[in-house]
């Protein structure tokens, strides 16, 4: 895919930020490889090409954090939870929103999909806003090897056999209705069930939930 001059400049700026953030941990070649492959993940089906460099930077940052954990560069002992569903547009995004809101900086959460969609489900966004949580800035994304390997707990929500299986990981399977195509009224019960699950998970992990 041919990049515009603006996109090339944006990716170069993103690489500089990532190099500064991961200085002493990863070299330039690794950072640029993660950034470029992250860009490629979204380029094929994105409807907003101007935002591609930003999405690529955010996803590359997450992947590099995961790799740093896997390679032992991260020693903060914060538990990492990975929420997975099919499109990473509804259930897993709501779970991520609740987890980050309740755990604050005491734990880490990521999300991904087996077949990532193009945008977050608007009904899920609206339902979460009713609870004071804004997930509109999130974006559907796949999972990658280093992200799965870095997670301490992997929560699947309907991705079935497509969910990755790694030995030694703790797996949870939450049975939840798919909010795809539903209106806000029908998404609310799913949202509330997800919140209940997330609160229970935080308690099991020994992570204090925000009051």
Tens-place pLDDT, residues 41-89: 888 766 666 788 999 999 999 999 999 999 999 889 999 999 999 999 9
Active-site entry in 31, 159, 194, 201? 159
What is the Cα–Cα distance from 20 to 16, expressed in whole angstroms?
Answer: 6
Query: Is 171 strand, coil or helix?
Result: strand
What is the Cα–Cα distance from 133 to 195, expressed in whole angstroms?
Answer: 12
Q: Hey, how many other C-beta atoms are within 10 angstroms of the C-beta on 76?
A: 7
CATH 3.40.50.2300 residue window(s) in the chain:
76-210
What is the Cα–Cα distance from 84 to 143, expressed in whole angstroms?
Answer: 8
For 102-112, b/e burial (b = at least 16 CB within 10 A) is: bbeeebbbbbb
The pLDDT assigned to 48 comes to 64
What is the Cα–Cα distance from 113 to 158, expressed in whole angstroms?
Answer: 10
DSSP H helical ranges for the chain: 5-21, 28-43, 52-70, 91-103, 122-129, 145-150, 184-205
Active-site entry in 95, 96, 109, 163? 163
Active-site entry in 55, 66, 84, 85? 85
The pLDDT assigned to 164 comes to 77
CATH of 76-210, one of 3.20.20.10, 3.40.50.2300, 1.10.10.10, 3.90.550.10: 3.40.50.2300
**Does domain 1-75 sit in CATH 1.10.8.1060?**
yes
CATH 1.10.8.1060 residue window(s) in the chain:
1-75
Q: Mean pLDDT, consecutive 10-residue segments, the chain of 211 residues?
A: 82 96 96 94 72 92 97 93 95 98 97 91 98 95 94 89 80 93 97 98 95 78
The pLDDT assigned to 166 comes to 81
The pLDDT assigned to 46 comes to 64
Angle formed at CA 175 by CA 174 and CA 177, multiple of 5 degrees: 125
85 in catalytic set: yes
Give the helix/strand (H/E) hosting 118. none
132 in catalytic set: no
The pLDDT assigned to 1 comes to 57
163 in catalytic set: yes
pTM for the model stands at 0.92
What is the Cα–Cα distance from 103 to 1, expressed in whole angstroms?
Answer: 40
């Amino acid at each position: 895919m041919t990049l515009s001059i603006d996109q090339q400049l944006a990716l170069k700026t993103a690489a500089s930020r990532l190099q500064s953030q991961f200085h002493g941990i990863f070299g330039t070649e690794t950072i640029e490889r993660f950034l470029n492959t992250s860009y490629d993940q979204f380029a094929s089906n994105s409807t907003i090409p101007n935002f591609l460099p930003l999405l690529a930077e955010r996803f590359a940052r997450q992947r590099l954090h995961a790799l740093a954990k896997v390679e032992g560069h991260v020693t903060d002992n914060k538990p990492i939870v990975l929420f997975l569903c099919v499109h990473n547009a509804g259930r897993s995004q709501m779970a991520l929103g609740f987890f980050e809101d309740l755990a604050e900086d005491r734990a880490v959460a990521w999300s991904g999909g087996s077949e990532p969609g193009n945008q977050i489900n608007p009904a899920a966004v609206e339902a979460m806003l009713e609870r004071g949580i804004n997930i509109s800035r999130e974006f559907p994304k796949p999972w990658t090897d280093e992200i799965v390997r870095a997670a301490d707990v992997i929560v699947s929500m309907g991705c079935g056999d497509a969910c990755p299986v790694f030995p030694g990981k703790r797996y949870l399977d939450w049975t939840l209705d798919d909010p795809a195509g539903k209106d806000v009224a029908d998404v609310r019960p799913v949202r509330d069930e997800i919140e209940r699950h997330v609160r229970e998970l935080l308690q099991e992990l020994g992570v204090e939930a925000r009051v």
